[in-house]
């Protein structure tokens, strides 16, 4: 995997059994969209997220009454994946939920009601030895900072984060992760770059309210991807107005695109051009669909012509180069068998099975 990124070193924080920061891989997070009181659906969604590659799952705790449901969820998940409780406004929820087995708490100290209340949340987390994410957000920045900076700016977000980090430091609580999310991509990039120069606390990245997949994937890929390429960020969530499984899928695509981590098959497909003589778009879609749950970390190419295809995709472990009514299966750019158009997909899958055997996946 080509990866020239020099990652900025941060200190390690443990979220359940998962390490974040330090030498740990960059972690993928997502958040459930089910009603927390619907324990059955929430547990099912958490398991689905875990199976899709989500390494830390956040759940909303909207009221004190919800703490009992979180307790049930944590018990049923039984350490499969770390659970983070997301709390807004009411510090008592944070104190109560710290006691029911969650692995981290996420608060925005700016909207929790002042230093004394945050101090009490710290005590509860200290007693349970669980980390806190200080989640600074462009949508809920403290009033004094908005006034000082004449609006929400990257510097204002950074100052808020540093102020809280300093407070946590003085309270003797270093078990923290911090985020400075903004809905504006350049602002979010600037804020994280500046914050990264000032602290070695692990950073959780995200573009907040990124929107539906159509625009949200692009915003997240640019915002999160730029920072990861700078070596900044220890964990992240792609926020989308969509099924959270899509967030996890996109998160892995970002990691794969940057050569940071691999998971499953990486599909390479040519854009097609005037040389293409088959319906390559639907063939590429079929290949993607049939391989979507495949765990083997290989590159698979789907190319529109035999002349340029194998060469252009020589970095692929295996691929199809289609011609007129027929095509070739190639490995590392070398054609190995010629098949009729309708046999290409099965021919590719057979070759992938052989690769799995060779790599010891079977
Ligand atoms: Fe065109 Fe062939 Fe390149 Fe695909 S691989 S874009 S069909 S030249």
123 and 235 within one domain = yes
Nearest to 202 by CA among 236, 171, 237, 169: 236
* 34 and 176 share one domain: yes
Position of tokens 């349970």? Answer: 128
Distance 276 CA to ligand 1 centre (A): 7
CA gap 245, 210 in Å, rounded:
16
What is the pLDDT, as a whole number, of residue 17?
95
Write down how long the chain is: 362
Place of tokens 């949340």: 121
Shared domain check, 339 and 202: no
Mutate which of 281, 305, 310 for ligand 1? The one with the most ligand atoms within 8 Å of its CB, which is 305
Region 6-23: mean pLDDT is 96
> How many CA atoms lie within 13 Å of 297's alpha carbon, on the beta-carbon side?
11
Q: Tell me: do 28 and 91 sit in the same domain.
A: yes
CATH number at residue 20: 3.20.20.20
Q: What distance in angstroms lies between residue 310's CA and the mean position of ligand 1's atoms?
A: 10
Q: Which domain holds residue 119?
A: 13-257
Ligand 1 closest atom vs CA 275: 7
Asked if 313 and 202 sit in the same domain, the reply is no
Q: Report which of 100, 92, 85 is spatially closest to residue 133, judged by C-alpha positions.
A: 85
In tens, the pLDDT along 298-318 reads: 999 999 999 888 899 999 999
Q: Do 110 and 238 sit in the same domain of this protein?
A: yes
pLDDT one-digit tens code per residue, 246-297: 999 999 999 999 999 989 899 999 999 999 999 999 999 999 999 988 889 9
Is the pLDDT at 320 greater than 80? The verdict is: yes
**Pair 191, 317 in one domain:** no
Work out how many domains the chain is built from and give that number: 2
- Residues 143 and 288 occupy one common structural domain: no
Tell whether 288 and 158 lie within a shared domain. Answer: no
End position of a domain, from candidates 222, 257, 292 = 257
272 and 180 assigned to the same domain: no
Enter the pTM of the model.
Answer: 0.92
Q: To which residue do tokens 């900072």 refer?
A: 145
Query: How far, in Å, CA of 284 to CA of 276, rounded?
Result: 13
For a mutational test of ligand 1's pocket, the pick from 274, 278, 308, 319, i.e. the residue with the most ligand atoms closer than 8 A to its C-beta, is 308
Q: How many CA atoms lie within 13 A of 57 on its CB side?
A: 29
Q: Whose CA is nearest to atom 6 of ligand 1?
A: 272
Instruction: With beta carbons less than 8 A apart as the criterion, state whether 118 and 167 touch.
Output: yes
Ligand 1 centre distance from Cα of residue 320 (Å): 12
Average pLDDT score over residue span 224-242: 97
Q: Residues 293, 220: one domain? A: no
Could you tell me if 31 and 144 lie in one domain?
Answer: yes
For residue 148, the number of C-alpha atoms closer than 13 Å in the C-beta half-sphere is 12
- Supply the CATH number for residue 298's domain: 3.30.413.10
Compute the distance from residue 1 Cα to the ligand 1 centre, in Å: 24
pLDDT computed for residue 1 by the predictor: 67
Q: Using the atom order of ligand 1, give the atom closest to the CA of residue 271.
A: 6
- Is there a domain that residue 5 lies in? no
**CA distances for 322 relative to 277, 304, 311, 329, 330, angstroms:** 8, 5, 13, 9, 11
Model confidence pLDDT, tens digit, residues 150-181: 999 999 999 999 999 999 999 999 999 999 99
Residues enclosing ligand 1, CB less than 6 A? 270-273, 275-276, 303-305, 308-309, 312
Examine the fold and report which residue of 238, 257, 276 is the final residue of a domain before the chain moves on: 257
Average pLDDT score over residue span 99-124? 94
**Most ligand 1 atoms within 8 A of CB, residue of 269, 270, 279 to mutate:** 270
- Which among 223, 240, 257 is the end of a domain? 257
Instruction: Take atom 5 of ligand 1 and give the residue whose Cα is closest.
Output: 309
Pick the atom of ligand 1 nearest to 312's CA.
Answer: 5
Q: What's the 229 CA to ligand 1 centre distance in angstroms?
A: 29
The answer to whether 55 touches 63, Cβ cutoff 8 Å, is: no
Query: Does the pLDDT value for residue 361 go beyond 90?
Result: no
């Amino acid at each position: 995997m080509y990866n020239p990124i020099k990652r900025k070193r941060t200190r390690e924080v443990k979220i359940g059994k998962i390490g974040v920061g330090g030498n740990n891989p960059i972690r993928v997070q997502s958040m459930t969209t089910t009603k927390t009181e619907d324990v059955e659906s929430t547990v099912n969604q958490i398991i689905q997220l875990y199976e899709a590659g989500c390494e830390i799952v956040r759940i909303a705790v909207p009221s004190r009454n919800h703490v009992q449901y979180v307790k049930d969820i944590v018990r049923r998940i039984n350490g499969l994946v770390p659970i983070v409780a997301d709390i807004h406004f009411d510090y008592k929820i944070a104190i109560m939920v710290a006691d029911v087995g969650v692995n981290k708490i996420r608060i925005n100290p700016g909207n929790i009601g002042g230093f004394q209340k945050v101090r009490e949340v710290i005590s509860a987390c200290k007693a349970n030895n669980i980390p806190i994410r200080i989640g600074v957000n462009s949508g809920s920045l403290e009033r004094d900072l908005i006034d000082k900076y004449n609006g929400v700016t990257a510097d204002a977000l950074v100052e808020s984060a540093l102020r809280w980090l300093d407070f946590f430091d003085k309270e003797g609580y270093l078990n923290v992760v911090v985020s400075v999310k903004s809905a504006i991509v350049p602002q979010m990039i600037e804020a994280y770059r500046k914050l990264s120069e000032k602290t070695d606390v692990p950073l959780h990245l995200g573009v907040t309210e990124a929107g539906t997949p159509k625009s949200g994937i692009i915003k997240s890929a640019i915002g999160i991807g730029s920072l990861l390429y700078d070596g900044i960020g220890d964990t992240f969530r792609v926020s989308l107005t969509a099924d959270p499984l899509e967030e996890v899928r996109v998160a892995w695509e970002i990691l794969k695109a940057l050569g940071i981590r691999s998971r499953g098959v990486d599909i390479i497909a040519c854009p097609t051009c005037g040389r293409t003589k088959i319906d390559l778009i639907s063939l590429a879609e079929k290949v993607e669909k049939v391989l979507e749950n495949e765990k083997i970390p290989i590159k698979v190419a789907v190319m529109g012509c035999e002349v340029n295809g194998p060469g252009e995709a020589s970095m692929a472990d295996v691929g199809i180069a289609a011609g007129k009514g027929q095509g070739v299966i190639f490995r590392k750019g070398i054609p190995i068998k010629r098949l009729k158009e309708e046999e290409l997909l099965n021919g590719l899958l057979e070759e992938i099975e052989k690769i799995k055997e060779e790599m010891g996946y079977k």
